[in-house]
Amino acid sequence: MIAAAIAGVALASPADALGQAADKATAEVLFEQAKALLAEGNYAEACPKLAESLRLDTGIGTMLYLADCYERTGKTASAWGQFREAQASAAKERDAREKIAKERADRLEPSLSRLTVVVPPASDVSGLVVTRDGTPLGRAGWGIDAPVDPGPHVVRVSAPGHEARESTIEVGPSGARASFVVTPLALARAPSTEAPAPAPLPTTQRTIGITLAAVGVAAVGVGTFFGVRAIGTLDDSKAHCGERTCDQTGLDLRDTSRTEANVATALFVAGGVLAGTGAVLWLTAPRSPSRGIAVAPAGAGLVAAGRF
Task: Tell me, yes or no, whether 106 lies in a domain.
Answer: yes
Task: Mark whether 10 and 98 lie in a shared domain.
Answer: yes
- Tell me, what's the pLDDT at 13? 58
Domain membership of residue 177 (yes or no) is: yes
128 and 87 part of one domain: no
In a domain, 195, yes or no: no
How many domains does the chain fold into?
3
At residue 227, the pLDDT reads 63
Torsion of CA 71, 73, 78, 83, to 10 degrees: -20
> How many whole angstroms separate alpha carbon 176 and alpha carbon 194?
52
Query: CA-CA distance, 304 to 293, in Å (whole number)?
Result: 7
Which pLDDT does position 12 carry in this prediction? 45
| Residue 252 structural domain | 205-284
Same domain (yes/no): 129, 220: no
**What 3 state SS string does 98-160 have?**
HHHHHHHHHHHHHHCEEEEEECCHHHCCCCCEEEECCEECCHHHCCCCEEECCEEEEEEEECC
The pLDDT assigned to 52 comes to: 96
Instruction: Tell me the CATH number at 7.
Output: 1.25.40.10
Q: Which residues of the chain have pLDDT under 50?
A: 1-12, 289-308
Residue of 11, 22, 19, 98 lying closest to 60 (CA atoms): 98
Are 137 and 160 members of one domain?
yes
Q: What is the dihedral of CA 80, 84, 90, 92, to 10 degrees?
A: -170
Residues 17 and 77 in one domain: yes
Cα dihedral 66, 69, 74, 77 in deg (nearest 10)? 20
- Tell me, yes or no, whether 120 and 106 share the same domain: no
pTM score, whole prediction? 0.57
Looking at residue 9, what is its pLDDT? 37
Residue 64 lies in a domain: yes
What tens digit of pLDDT does each residue of 54-102 get? 999 999 999 999 999 999 999 999 999 999 999 999 999 999 999 999 9
Residue at a domain's end among 110, 126, 159: 110
Phi, psi of 3 (to 5 degrees): -60, -40
**Within this chain, do residues 172 and 249 fall inside the same structural domain, yes or no?**
no
CATH of the domain at 149: 2.60.40
Using one digit for the tens of pLDDT, what is the confidence trace for 118-156? 999 999 999 999 999 999 999 999 999 999 999 999 999
What pLDDT sits at residue 306? 35
Name 166's bridge partners: 156
pLDDT value of position 2: 37
Both 89 and 167 in one domain: the answer is: no
Instruction: Report the pLDDT value the prediction gives residue 274, as an integer from 0 to 100.
Output: 67
Are 93 and 60 in contact, with CB atoms under 8 Å apart? Answer: yes
- Are 122 and 95 in a shared domain? no
